[in-house]
Amino acid sequence: MKKFFATFLALGALALAQKPNTAVTGYTDTPEIPGQKWRVHDATRPKPVVVTPGAKLGDPPSDAIILFDGKDLSQWDFPGKRGKAPKPWKVENGYFEIVPGAGDAVTKEKFGDMQLHIEYMQLPGNTKLGQNRGNSGVLIMNRYEIQVLDSYGDPTYADGQAGAIYGQWPPMVNAIRKPGEWNAYDIVFEAPKFEGEKLVKPPFVTVFFNGVMVHNRQEITGPMAHRVNLPFKAHGAEEPLGLQDHNEFVRFRNIWARKLKGYDRK
């Protein structure tokens, strides 16, 4: 019986291999899609580039730029703080940790439109409150901040808690985990556009916090600032990513980013 099934499967595979491919691969006689140069089901439209997802959720896909692999900080610069000598953050056990007073960490790579994955942990036992409890920040283009804070039961102001677009928009919900557990941000960022010194398109950001959407293509109204609103100032189409030193111990791991090129790229 086993021999019969083996022969049957082999003959079936041979038949499939010899059968001509009659799949419809597109059309050339359909109407154009409004606002595009392509026809509906256009046969000549470029096929999306193949990207292999990570083996499990949170793992980097094949086209990601690995910003921290758990081993070293070779993708980061440490310019120092307020004129002090540069001092790298601490790396151990697959994560790196802020050294309070050392200054921000800034990527060597620059980004415009991007997808970012970053995981962070607030250390247990922190008895401080408000903005002094595990404060850091993801500084997109080194100026637009998604807040990092221990907001687990912390009574800080809404637009300054974890997941906030700092000083502008609170997260729609507070999805933070307990101190000692890893949190994850998945961020999609649309960079601003300038013509000379004039802003012609503001930045937008979408944020998933531990898998929960907390910002849905929300407009950013200016650079990060405390207690004030700052106007936009023209800057490069691509700028570094920063992690803020706010004199608190926070750990980071599994950081990667993808530069977004849009549709129909070849």
* Three-state secondary structure readout of 50-107: CCCCCCCCCCCCCCCEEEECCCCCCCEECCCCCCCCCCCCEEECCEEECCCCCCCEEE
| Confidence class for position 18, pLDDT limits 50, 70, 90 | low
The pTM assigned to this predicted structure is 0.86
3-state secondary structure of 262: coil
- Compute the average pLDDT of residues 239-255: 97
List pLDDT tens digits, range 197-224: 999 999 999 999 999 999 999 999 999 9
The number of angstroms, rounded, from the C-alpha of 215 to the middle of its chain's C-alpha atoms is 13
Phi and psi at residue 144, to the nearest 5°: -110, 115
What region does 74 belong to: left with phi over 0, alpha with psi -120 to 50, or beta?
alpha
What are the distances in angstroms from CA 143 to CA 102, 200, 222? 18, 18, 9
pLDDT given at position 32: 93
User: Measured on CA atoms in the order 56, 58, 64, 68, is the torsion positive or negative?
Assistant: negative
Average pLDDT, rounded, for the chain: 91
In angstroms, the CA 91 to CA 193 distance is 36
pLDDT given at position 53: 85
pLDDT given at position 52: 87
pLDDT given at position 115: 98
Side-chain half-sphere CA neighbours of 82 within 13 A:
5
pLDDT given at position 87: 85
User: How large a percentage of the chain has pLDDT more than 90?
Assistant: 78
